[in-house]
């Protein structure tokens, strides 16, 4: 399916944008591997997992500019009686240019808005993968998007290209000191990517949500994500002797790996197992050939947010959540 449009008179040239459906995993992965900036929620397996756990259907598109690919996007579409009622795009579209021009951003976001319209493909709720700048917010307002949620996704990227010792030197001193204390305590790392390890992690994750009263990824979604592509779902445990005192899930996609969920028990926190697990997750991501480690999102005002900020990665913030009718 294609939708073509010409940019309006404010654009610098009369260019054609096309929105084309991507039908095969092979084509999606081929394009996804070329992206300079990716997000977990745009990974193919994530779309499959969301579709497996609810009424949403994952649909994927390539956006072309005069016949050349410029962006791609995965949308979760809600249908009833074969009719598209609306869609959700989370941290997309993804651009092939690391620093897309204003004109390119405008063309792509205009193409997306025209594609998802009531009467055509339904309303669209979008948390765009655009940096939170006044220019991007003004662009979205100008195109007719309506701001629904002010605060967008915030996280940070740790560069994995230097040697491990150089990566560690960039951490805040207090973070490094706690890591050294954890290493001296005798903690050991264990990788457990089998179904038994998955169930152990899911039990701890649900316990964590109940204890701390927060809503995170559901058990069904995590299990579906594992089943969609087990090799990209890595479970790490911090072992104190024969006991697991903490664990986390590292999820792989494109050139990045991201902390997704974790559990640090009372005994583990006393041993700084959070620092221990995060460091081993970073080392594992580097060993597997990834370029970046995403710390997994945070609010800078909370304790876990400060913990992640002390890794001193490159912080990024996205431009909120928007509605298009």
pTM above 0.75, yes or no: yes
Same domain, 6 and 149: yes
Same domain, 140 and 178: no
Same domain, 52 and 131: yes
Residue 314 is assigned to a structural domain of this protein: no
Same domain, 190 and 253: yes
Residue 43 is assigned to a structural domain of this protein: yes
Same domain, 94 and 9: yes
Same domain, 101 and 176: no
Same domain, 101 and 113: yes
Residue 305 is assigned to a structural domain of this protein: no
Same domain, 21 and 81: yes
Same domain, 216 and 148: no
Per-residue pLDDT of the chain (325 residues; tens, 9 = 90+): 554 444 333 343 445 999 999 999 999 999 999 999 999 999 999 999 999 998 789 999 999 999 999 999 999 998 776 666 889 999 999 999 999 999 999 999 999 999 998 767 789 999 999 999 999 999 999 999 999 999 999 999 999 999 999 999 999 999 999 999 999 999 999 999 999 999 999 999 999 999 988 888 999 999 999 999 999 999 999 999 999 999 999 999 999 999 999 999 999 999 999 999 999 999 999 999 999 999 999 987 788 899 999 999 999 999 999 999 9
Residue 225 is assigned to a structural domain of this protein: yes
Residue 304 is assigned to a structural domain of this protein: no
What's the CATH code of the domain at 66?
3.40.630.30
Same domain, 38 and 86: yes
Same domain, 149 and 166: no
Domain, as residue range, for 170: 155-296
What is the structure's pLDDT at 122?
83
Q: How far apart are CA 55 and CA 10, in angstroms?
A: 40
When divided into structural domains, the chain yields a total of 2
Same domain, 132 and 211: no
């Amino acid at each position: 399916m294609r939708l073509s449009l010409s940019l309006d008179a404010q654009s610098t040239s009369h260019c054609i944008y096309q929105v084309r459906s991507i039908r095969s995993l092979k084509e999606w992965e081929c394009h996804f591997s070329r992206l300079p900036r990716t997000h977990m929620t745009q990974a193919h397996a994530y779309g499959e997992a969301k579709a497996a756990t609810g009424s949403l259907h994952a649909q994927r598109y390539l956006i072309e500019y005069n016949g050349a690919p410029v962006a791609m996007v995965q949308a979760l579409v809600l249908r009833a009686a074969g009719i598209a009622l609306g869609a959700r795009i989370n941290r997309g579209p993804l651009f092939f240019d690391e620093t897309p021009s204003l004109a390119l951003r405008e063309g792509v976001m205009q193409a997306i808005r025209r594609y998802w319209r009531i009467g055509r493909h339904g309303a669209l709720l979008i948390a765009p993968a655009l940096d939170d700048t006044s220019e991007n917010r003004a662009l979205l307002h100008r195109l007719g998007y309506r701001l629904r949620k002010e605060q967008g996704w915030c996280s940070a990227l740790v560069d994995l290209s230097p040697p491990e010792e150089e990566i560690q030197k960039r951490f805040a001193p207090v973070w490094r000191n706690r890591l050294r204390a954890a290493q001296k305590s005798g903690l050991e790392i264990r990788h457990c990517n089998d179904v038994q390890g998955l169930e152990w992690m899911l039990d701890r994750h649900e316990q964590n949500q109940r204890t701390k009263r927060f809503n995170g990824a559901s058990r069904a979604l995590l299990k579906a994500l594992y089943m969609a592509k087990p090799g990209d779902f890595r479970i790490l445990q911090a072992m104190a002797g024969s006991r697991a005192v903490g664990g986390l899930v590292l999820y792989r996609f494109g050139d990045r790996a991201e902390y997704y969920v974790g559990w640090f028990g009372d005994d583990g926190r006393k041993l700084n197992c959070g620092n221990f697990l995060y460091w081993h997750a970073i080392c594992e991501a580097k060993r597997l050939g990834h370029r970046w480690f995403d710390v997994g999102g945070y609010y800078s005002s909370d304790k876990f947010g400060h913990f992640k900020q002390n890794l001193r990665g490159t912080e990024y913030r996205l431009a909120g959540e928007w509605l298009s009718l």
